[in-house]
Amino acid sequence: MGRELYQAIADGILVGGVYALMAVGLTLIFGVLDIINIAQGVLVILGAYLSYSIYGHLHIDMFVGLAITIPVMFIIGVVIHWAFIRRLRGTERTSMTLLVTYAVALIIEGILYKIYGANQVQINEPSINGTNASIHVLGFYLGYIYIYGFILAIVLVAAIYLLLYRTKFGRSVRAIMQDETAARLIGIEVNRVAAVTFGIGVAVTAAGGIAFGATNAFNANSGYDLISRLLAIIILGGLGSVGGALAASIFMITLESVVSIWQPTWAIAVFYAALILVLLFRPEGLFGKKAVRAQ
């Protein structure tokens, strides 16, 4: 029993790292643009399909393929922002942006169905996610893909962190998070920063897509499951808080992984129940919005 538990915790932390990466993108977009990108889930699936095609047809190593998929996803993000998000203003903006990103998700999902069909696929590279591709550390069996995914997530989250806290661009991003009007007044080009942030938030789904697509069989429909988890994570961590998103994804995925030892079918319900419980006592989430400013 104890062994199983530790194994579940180890798995949870590794998978949680990958979710953290996707959630950071989502929460960054929220912090700067004050919108929730419902399309994030299906964009991860799009990223997974991109890697699947690149690996399957061009036989490029899937992690090297990131050099193609990350810029592609970045451009897709900027285009979505430019075409739809930028145009929404006014009092109903919150609900409108949600609906627009939901609509974008539907369209992408439909296109993916058209191209790839409804059959589930998985990115398969036996040396990375085959049955024997695991490492035996301290009594745990850890799949290479989980370890690579975790490392990739750490590297990218660290890069985002450096970008936010060590560059001029990051300073403008944080300024907009604090007060958009004031940021505009001191000469920050809010629209451009917002577009780039949206692009970055979407670009991380390329990496998330690889990790997801190599560990799960997926089809165009898998985005719903992902986005509902990601939403729960960023709400729990406190909307707009990067640190909160990191902590919440590790916590939630580990919780789910541990619960699924006993109750595999109900694990996801525990996941949402945790969210609801936390919100009953702390409506602003665990870390609130202040955590971003305090860092």
Partner 1 sequence: MAIRVGLLIALLALAIAFPQVFTNPAVTNYGVFAMIFVTAASAWNIFSGNSGYISLGNAVFFGSGAYALGLMAKGWNVQGATVFDLLPLVGLIGAGIAVIFGLIALHVRRHTFIVITIAVFFIFQLMAFNFSFTGGSSGLNSPFLTWQPVPYNQNFYYIALGFAAVTVAVAALVRRSRFGLQLRAIRDDEDRASGLGVKTMRVKLTALVITGSITAMIGGVWFYYINQVQPQTGFDPLWDLQIVLMAFLGGYGSVSGPVLGALIIEPGSLWLNTQPQFSGGYLSEILLGLIFLFVVLVMPRGIIPTGGEWIKRLRTRGRPAVVPAAVTEKVGVAVAAVGGTPPLQPPAKDGGQ
Position among 72, 88, 147, 163 found at the interface with partner 1 (CB under 8 A)? 88
Q: Left, alpha or beta for 61 (phi > 0: left; psi -120 to 50: alpha)?
A: beta
Q: Does 36 bind partner 1 (CB under 8 A)?
A: yes
Q: Does 121 bind partner 1 (CB under 8 A)?
A: no
Nearer to partner 1, 56 or 117 (CB): 117
Position among 100, 123, 214, 286 found at the interface with partner 1 (CB under 8 A)? 100
CA distances from 61 to 21, 54, 66, 152 (A): 21, 9, 9, 14
The alpha carbon torsion through 291, 292, 293, 295 (nearest 10 deg) reads: 80
Q: Count of residues binding partner 1 (CB under 8 A)?
A: 44
Nearer to partner 1, 94 or 167 (CB): 94
Stretch that binds partner 1, among 3-11, 94-102, 122-130, 147-155 (CB under 8 A): 94-102
- The strand pair at 134-137 and 140-143 is best described as antiparallel
Q: Does 20 bind partner 1 (CB under 8 A)?
A: no
SS3 content of the chain, % helix, strand, coil (to 5): 75, 5, 20
Instruction: Provide the greatest CA pair distance for the chain.
Output: 59
| Contacting residues for 221 by C-beta, under 8 A, at least 6 apart | 109, 118
In angstroms, what is the minimal distance from the CB of 218 to partner 1?
16
Stretch that binds partner 1, among 50-58, 80-88, 153-161, 178-186 (CB under 8 A): 80-88
Q: Please tell me the distance from the alpha carbon of residue 207 to that of residue 205, in angstroms, as a whole number.
A: 5
Site string for partner 1, 256-295 (x = CB under 8 A): ---------xx-xx--xx-xx--xx--x-x----------
How many Å from the N-terminal Cα to the C-terminal Cα in the chain?
Answer: 39
Q: What is the binding site for partner 1 (CB under 8 A)?
A: 30, 36, 84, 87-88, 90-92, 94-96, 98-100, 102-107, 109-111, 113-114, 220, 224, 228, 231-232, 235, 239, 265-266, 268-269, 272-273, 275-276, 279-280, 283, 285
